[in-house]
Copies of this chain bind each other. A is one copy, B any other.
Amino acid sequence: MLPQWLIEKKRDGQALSDEEIRWFIEGFTVGRIPDYQMAAMAMAIYCRGMTAAETAVITDAMMRSGDLVDTSAIQRPKADKHSTGGIGDKVSLILAPLVACCGVAVPMISGRGLGITGGTLDKLESIPGYRTDLSEKQFVEVIQKCGCSIIGQTGRLAPADKKLYALRDVTGTVPSIPLITASIMSKKLAEGIDALVLDVKWGKGAFMRTMEDARTLARSMVDVGVHMGKGMAALITDMNRPLGRCAGNALEVIESVQTLQGEGPADLVEVTLALSARMLLLVKKARDEKEARAMLQKHLDSGKAYEVFQEMVRLQGGDPASLEKLHNVHTASLQEPLPALESGTVAAVDAERVGKACVVLGAGRVKTDDKVDFAVGVSNLVQVSENVTKGQPLVVVHANDENRLEEARKLLDGAFTIRREPVKTPPLVYETILP
């Protein structure tokens, strides 16, 4: 077997066999198949697609290219949530302890921000002392003690994906549904979970720009997960507007803590509850959504979820006492409100512009080795369908540099659409994709 024979087969629109896909991915992982052949294969996959069966096999092959987390010591059912990324998406920080309160173990391996979407690890690292680099053993221990743990990817988790993603990034082969599916699912399924809920976002601030694309990706990922014996569901959610009122690392932790204390913005609470409820249903901790939501609401209201979050922070080396004074730990030197130029109803908040403004301020990364500034970002964002009066702040910008502030302001100036006539609030959750 020569690599080019398989490239030709895919190029001609044929389906590759299980053995062929595994041989190719393994060869690429160990370096027997060079980058240029993988690049040609990735482009052929982009152009010709893959069947559901092929997508499941490439996901499995990539997952098996590295270590699988051994969660067998954890007695509870294990479930996780994965989001395709958005602006202000701090759901994981609330969802993990909340679902853990309901008797579900949440072994969450998260990523860093790249481009305009933030990363859960960057947010958590704004908590003094919090370690995201636990060993697998420590990871399992934290979960056994408090029910959840959020850490970063270990070096041996799906190395094929790490290598392939870097190559796709520079060869125009990122937006391929089977390759995105394999990339996400190979890492998530290596966590040793029983069930996975996907938050597939669409819109201006999301990787998937149309609902149609989000639906296609969601279906592909759900199919692969089911094929690999996992309980699966996907929610198609709105990312034309930011989620919640804050974006930026420490600012999002502060908003998450407020939400765990029962004072979160309605959109963030709703998306968190919808995803959390779906997790409980998948592991049969609730009979229907109503029962699931009641359980979740109880743990939010009682402060139990916040206690679990504090405990997780403590077990991972962080200082729980810092959580309620994080605005003092990370304070931007410049905090400037942006006033509304007219009165009316907020018809749109452009998530892409808000996300770009955060990157400009230093909250995100342009290159993978960029450092992030925990203090900067935006807070007090007005939300769609709220009424504003002229002069009232639409957002507060947190910056550590005058020039960056100026650049962010230009982006944010065009981010808000204000209308005289009433505005219909768009849905937060558009669809639920089930097996």
Enumerate chain A interface residues (CB-CB to B < 8 A).
3-5, 7-8, 11, 34-40, 42-44, 46-48, 167, 169-173
Residue of A37, A39, A42, A44 contacting most chain B CB atoms (<10 Å): A39
Whole-angstrom distance between the alpha carbons of A48 and B48 in the complex?
11
Whole-angstrom distance between the alpha carbons of A170 and B36 in the complex?
9
Pick from B5, B43, B169: contact of A43, CB under 8 Å: B43
User: Is A8 in contact with B40, judged by CB distance below 8 angstroms?
Assistant: no
Main secondary structure of the interface of A (DSSP, over half): helix
A151 vs chain B, min Cβ distance (A): 31
Whole-angstrom distance between the alpha carbons of A39 and B171 in the complex?
9
Whole-angstrom distance between the alpha carbons of A44 and B173 in the complex?
10
User: Is A44 in contact with B42, judged by CB distance below 8 angstroms?
Assistant: no
Known A40-B40, A43-B43, A44-B43; contact A171-B35, beta-carbon cutoff 8 A: no
A91 vs chain B, min Cβ distance (A): 31
User: Is B4 in contact with A172, judged by CB distance below 8 angstroms?
Assistant: yes
12 sample A-B contacts, Cβ–Cβ < 8 Å, listed by A number = A4-B170, A7-B171, A8-B172, A11-B43, A34-B35, A39-B40, A39-B171, A40-B42, A40-B43, A43-B44, A43-B47, A47-B47
Pick from B34, B48, B173: contact of A40, CB under 8 Å: B173
Known A36-B36, A38-B36; contact A11-B170, beta-carbon cutoff 8 A: no
Whole-angstrom distance between the alpha carbons of A11 and B40 in the complex?
12
Pick from B39, B46, B47, B48: contact of A39, CB under 8 Å: B39
User: Is A37 in contact with B40, judged by CB distance below 8 angstroms?
Assistant: no
- Top 10 A-B pairs, shortest CB-CB distance: A7-B172, A40-B171, A43-B43, A47-B47, A36-B39, A8-B172, A35-B36, A39-B40, A39-B39, A36-B36
User: Is B11 in contact with A46, judged by CB distance below 8 angstroms?
Assistant: yes
